[in-house]
Amino acid sequence: MTYDLYIGDRLFSSWSMRGWLMLEKFNLPYRSHMIGLYSGTMTQDMEPLAPARLVPALRLPEGTVVSESLAIAETLAERHLDAGLWPSHPAARATARWLCAEMVAGFVSLRGECPMQLLHVWQGFDPSDETLADLARIETLWDHARKVSGVEQGPLFGTYSLADVFYTPVAARIIGYGLPVSKANRTYCLDLLSDPAVRQWRAMGLTVTYDPFPYRLDLPSKPWPIRGVSTAKPASGPSINQVCPYSGKPVAEFLELDGKCWGFCNPFCRDKTIADPDAWPKFAALRATVNDS
């Protein structure tokens, strides 16, 4: 039983990130398909999913198409009762649903003024009063969630849930625009963005270049705070390894890291590793094996 998930550009599509995290974080089987949000092919790419018109969209194994993030979340939760998508305690579960529903329907100023981008951190961004009000509301909801759950740090309800999924792109906006929140909530944002799955999502997004870069601001920027700038770079072979650490296929593309040459089966495997080498357990295991030998 495998789902087909249709997503947009990873660096910018906050709703796509939510759809992907629902499947990735709860170990549900899926295949990803890219929709051309910025290449001009979105309408054509979405035709087989009609009347769905936005990403993410999910095709169930039996063929039914589900659109809209909250509908996808509820569909997956009812189909996988043991996966723990919602908190197990009734009060926490009800509150988590509330937070997700308000996220979908609210924070219009924050979402409009601060489009998600995962490339860097803008410096000197001046949020409007309306966006500051959205931030205050988000902090109120997060504080309420922690009162309900009784946990002071980490996932809002103690165990990672759909509430954390829905607010991860909010965390990306807060960090990516340097928006003012409490120290505790900034830590929560950084925790969400440091999750290995989120790092992998960003690394895959960095394999694509954009000219011009969407949502560019006339402001200075500084590096993304998680992982920083990678020292890996493209290289020519031969490599230490003969098969790709991800696919097991023969290597054809190469990168240099730590003075060594590593091989991959295709440019995507190479480039996602260049973007964040430490985000990929299979590559980390290969490096450890070589370094220990």
Annotated domain spans of the chain = 3-83, 90-199, 233-292
CATH of 3-83, one of 3.40.30.10, 2.60.40.290, 2.70.150.10, 3.30.530.20: 3.40.30.10
Would you call 187 helix, strand, or coil by DSSP? helix
The DSSP line for 141-155 is: HHHHHHHHH---SSS
Query: Which pair of structure tokens corresponds to residue 76?
Result: 């997956």
In 3D space, the residue among 52, 50, 84, 67 whose CA is nearest the CA of residue 15 turns out to be 67
* pLDDT value at residue 293: 64
Backbone angles phi, psi at 97, to 5 degrees: -60, -40
Taking the C-alpha atoms of residue 156 and residue 162, their distance in angstroms, rounded to an integer, is 10
Q: Which CATH number fits domain 90-199: 2.60.120, 2.60.40, 1.20.1050, 1.10.287?
A: 1.20.1050
pLDDT value, residue 39: 85
What whole-number distance in Å separates Cα of residue 200 and Cα of residue 93? 28
Rounded to whole angstroms, the Cα distance separating 31 from 57 reads 12
Q: Which of 163, 181, 80 has its CA nearest to residue 127?
A: 181
- Say how far apart CA 70 and CA 28 lie, in whole Å: 17
Instruction: Going from the first residue of the chain to its last (293 residues), give the mean pLDDT of each consecutive group of 10, the final group possibly shorter.
Output: 96 98 98 92 95 97 98 98 98 98 98 97 98 98 98 98 98 98 98 98 96 93 90 95 97 96 98 97 94 71
- State the DSSP H helix or E strand holding residue 255, giving kind and residue range, or none if neither: strand 253-257
